[in-house]
């Protein structure tokens, strides 16, 4: 088996440390491998598609719930000088989020902001 890395994704763990995850392909199967090589997940295209679909649905659901919860809360605290609102937990580390946005998406967002 000769594994070819087709994509590398940087993830941030709960300690805030970054780790690269390699997505590899050998012509028949896919493999997800962590930086150290001590975690490997190997699968065929069908089960890989099911994994990606379920993972996407779980994360999308969590994000939607966080947004709904945030919008439903009356979390604005007024003090004598200004108004502050709570920041959503999932997006509290905006530096990490900003690093994951592609250059093309950033460019589109800046263009939209400029039009307002």
**Each residue of 42-100: pLDDT tens digit?**
999 999 999 999 999 999 999 998 888 887 765 554 444 454 444 455 555 555 555 56
* pTM of this structure: 0.57
b/e code 59-83 from CB counts within 10 Å (16+ = b):
eeeeeeeeeeebeeeeeeeeeeeee
Q: Are 12 and 18 in contact (CB under 8 A)?
A: yes
Is residue 68 within a helix (H) or strand (E), and if so which, with residue range? helix 45-72
**Per-residue confidence band for 35, with pLDDT thresholds at 50, 70 and 90:** confident
């Amino acid at each position: 088996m000769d594994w070819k890395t087709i994509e590398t994704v940087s993830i941030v763990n709960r300690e805030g440390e970054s780790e690269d995850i390699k997505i590899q392909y050998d012509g028949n199967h896919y493999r997800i491998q962590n930086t150290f090589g001590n975690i490997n997940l190997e699968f065929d295209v069908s089960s890989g598609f099911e994994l990606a679909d379920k993972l996407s649905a779980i994360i999308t659901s969590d994000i939607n719930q966080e947004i709904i919860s945030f919008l439903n809360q009356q979390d604005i605290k007024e003090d004598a000088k200004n108004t502050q609102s709570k920041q959503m937990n999932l997006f509290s580390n905006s530096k990490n989020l900003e690093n994951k946005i592609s250059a093309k998406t950033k460019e589109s967002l800046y263009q939209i902001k400029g039009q307002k």
